[in-house]
Structure 1
């Protein structure tokens, strides 16, 4: 999945040592100064993760939008359970 950025913490402020969130939970990358969404590298950003609708976590939902659909060899990690 690539290099891990420094200073990544979970919702409790605990440093992450692995996958912190996966699709289908919405993962939003935001500019830390303005809160605007960004789609580029090289900026200081904040990452906002929300809990998805439970229908996305069914086998059919995960087949349509889970991490494996995007090519990641990991299981869905429900955000609030991670």
Structure 2
């Protein structure tokens, strides 16, 4: 991200913290979680693993953990509620 923005890593981290109150990795994870949540809510038939990988998560256990921390339920519960 720093290279794409044309700044150093430290500068990128400082600007994220100043403007968003968090670091770039945390902000990116939140964007990915929000995208996964939206997909699971809108399309309960999509396999959770496909959604996780499509949203940039490479470790399904970590995805499920982060998702539950953020939304209070497992991604499979969100998808199941949509199906039901």
Q: TM-score, normalised by structure 2?
A: 0.29
The structure whose Rg is larger is 2
More helix by share: 2
Q: TM-score, normalised by structure 1?
A: 0.30
